[in-house]
Amino acid sequence: MKFDLDTAWKDTMGLLTRNLGLLAVVAGVFFFLPYAGITIAMPEMGELEQASASGDFEVMMAAVSDLYLQHWWVFLILAIVQGIGLLAMLALVRQRPSPTVGEALGTGARSVLSYIAAQLLQTALIVFAVTVLITVGALTGLQALAALGGVIGFVATCYIFTKLSLAAPVIAIDGERNPVRALARSWTLTKGNSIRLFFFYLLLLVAFIIVSTVISLVLGLVFALAGEQAALFGQGIVSGLTNAVMIVVAICVLAAVHTQFMRLAGGPTEPTDT
């Protein structure tokens, strides 16, 4: 059986409708407030936004490197906090029996190290694959092959990301704390449906980018008219809000996709609390 995009979207909207209040509260605490606070408190975040808008890849990478080297500990804390929030929201929408917010946060706290380890393993796999492909092309001395290696590397990145995208729900909903087994489970669940799943993610990403860009431009202009300080404050608020909304939708998407793949695999779609 094939992954059905329409069913996944309907399930996503159903989860979003039923759990919007709780998800908004958790996302506000774990995503909106930390992200908005960092954006406002760290001027370097504004410089990163400007570098990204410039379209110069080298300038953007230099800004990213400087930012993370100077404030690595801030982003480590942020990753842990947001990891707990993400896993807690997945538990809230799909664990059965439905946990309380406190129980869901407990699941997130107990699972966050597994989640971070899975993310690091996924990143390492992507970096390794891309490095090998680009290096092989570069060793030939032919620019065309080097460029082709870069293109194949990008395709490989998209493929690996899609195949391993269900690691978070496997950890939070199924209760799998071993990061290697969580990644392997995600790879197995998506077997035979990777391309369809990728295009589902891509359509949602394009739609979100368009909507968030329009909103950011409009609200950014409104805040900019009030002065430089108001523009900085507004940038933090808009960035934090955009980040929180994206996470809420992404949580419902992952939960819906996970449920459908569990159904296709013949596994239980009403997981027990962990």
Q: Are 94 and 271 within 8 A, CB to CB?
A: yes
How many angstroms separate the CA atoms of 151 and 134, rounded?
Answer: 9
pLDDT of residue 107: 93
pLDDT digits (tens, 9 = 90+) for 46-88: 666 665 655 566 666 676 677 777 777 888 898 999 999 999 9
**Other Cβ atoms within 10 Å of 9 Cβ, number:** 16
Q: Which residues of the chain have a pLDDT value below 70?
A: 43-61, 63-64, 95-96, 141, 267-274
How many angstroms separate the CA atoms of 73 and 226, rounded?
Answer: 33
pLDDT of residue 274: 42
How many angstroms separate the CA atoms of 218 and 225, rounded?
Answer: 11
pLDDT of residue 133: 83
pLDDT of residue 272: 44
pLDDT of residue 44: 63
Tokens representing residue 206 in the block:
């394009």
pLDDT of residue 52: 61
pLDDT of residue 186: 97
pLDDT of residue 235: 76
